[in-house]
């Protein structure tokens, strides 16, 4: 049973792994027309299978012109978009003692600029849906790390915080056009990326649980979709503590990384 009353035309990036793959399967099972984008064409083809409501659109979101070309293909197939769900991204951790600008650039190119290229490409398609009388939605996956500075997350958390701030501001500008904007702030979710982490991940949930929380939040029109809530409320609280206290807690977390697991 669909979370929406009518089938939606959806563009989902980052569709072949982790949360994105779980979301893709649920949307397709609910009968929506879904354009699925990721870099790996073979994985996209396997995900789409024989489902007639799945459209594979291989894409590297860090290539601005490729993203604009993809939007033209979506327009040709669907005419407009009811939902643009920008989920693609990456994670690399920075060692402050070995400041690595190449790493920082890779993370920002994927998480920030790649997402913004997709925003640029999706807006005309969302506006087309609005002209049809719809209530289009722009949504992007940020991270709970955007709420509070965390050790080694300078690049990852910084790129996600930038996305959160940018889209919250854009939400104000798009309100008069009737385009809704939602932000998604996951905590720890079991994915191929988090499987590489070398530190404890409290309250980690499955990708399927994350996908349900994400899609339920979108269907209910929530502006800030965060999960698992027991974890994200703690992170939000840390983010509003006085700077000295927040700094002290951060130092304890930093020191613990050098201890045996």
Look at residue 4 and tell me if it is in a domain: no
Range of the domain at 27: 9-256
CATH assignment of the domain containing 27: 3.40.50.720
Look at residue 236 and tell me if it is in a domain: yes
Q: Tokens for 8?
A: 């939606």
CB neighbourhood size of 11 (10 A): 28
Looking at the structure of the chain, the number of domains it has is: 1
Look at residue 102 and tell me if it is in a domain: yes
Look at residue 2 and tell me if it is in a domain: no
pLDDT string in tens for the chain (261-residue length): 678 989 999 999 999 999 999 999 999 999 999 999 999 999 999 999 999 999 999 999 999 999 999 999 999 999 999 999 999 999 999 988 899 999 999 999 999 999 999 999 999 999 999 999 999 999 999 999 999 988 888 999 999 999 999 999 999 999 999 999 999 999 988 877 776 777 777 778 999 999 999 999 999 999 999 999 998 999 899 889 898 988 888 888 774 444 433
SS3 at position 110: helix
Look at residue 144 and tell me if it is in a domain: yes
Look at residue 1 and tell me if it is in a domain: no
Question: Which residue is associated with the tokens 């049973």?
Answer: 1
Look at residue 111 and tell me if it is in a domain: yes
Look at residue 3 and tell me if it is in a domain: no
SS3 at position 2: coil
> How far, in Å, CA of 124 to CA of 130, rounded?
10
């Amino acid at each position: 049973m669909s979370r929406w009353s009518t089938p939606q035309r959806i563009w989902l990036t980052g569709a072949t792994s982790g949360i994105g793959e779980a979301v893709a399967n649920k949307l397709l099972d609910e009968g929506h027309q879904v354009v699925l984008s990721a870099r790996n064409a073979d994985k996209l083809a396997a995900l789409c299978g024989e489902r007639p409501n799945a459209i594979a659109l291989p894409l590297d979101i860090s290539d601005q012109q490729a993203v604009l070309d993809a939007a033209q293909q979506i327009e040709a197939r669907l005419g407009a978009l009811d939902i643009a769900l920008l989920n693609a991204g990456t994670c690399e951790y920075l060692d402050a003692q070995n400041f690595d600008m190449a790493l920082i650039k890779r993370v920002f190119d994927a998480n920030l600029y790649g997402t913004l290229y997709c925003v640029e490409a999706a807006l005309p398609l969302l506006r087309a849906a609005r002209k049809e009388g719809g209530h289009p939605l722009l949504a992007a996956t940020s991270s709970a790390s955007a709420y509070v500075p965390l050790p080694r997350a300078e690049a990852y958390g910084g790129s996600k915080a930038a996305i959160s701030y940018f889209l919250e501001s854009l939400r104000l500008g798009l309100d008069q056009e009737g385009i809704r904007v939602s932000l998604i702030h996951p905590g720890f979710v079991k994915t191929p990326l988090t499987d590489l982490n070398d530190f404890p991940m409290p309250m980690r949930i499955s990708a399927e649980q994350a996908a349900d929380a994400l899609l339920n939040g979108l269907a209910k029109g929530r502006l800030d979709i965060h999960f698992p809530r027991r974890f994200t409320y703690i992170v939000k609280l840390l983010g509003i503590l006085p700077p000295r206290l927040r700094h002290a807690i951060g130092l304890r977390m930093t020191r613990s990384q050098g201890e045996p697991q």
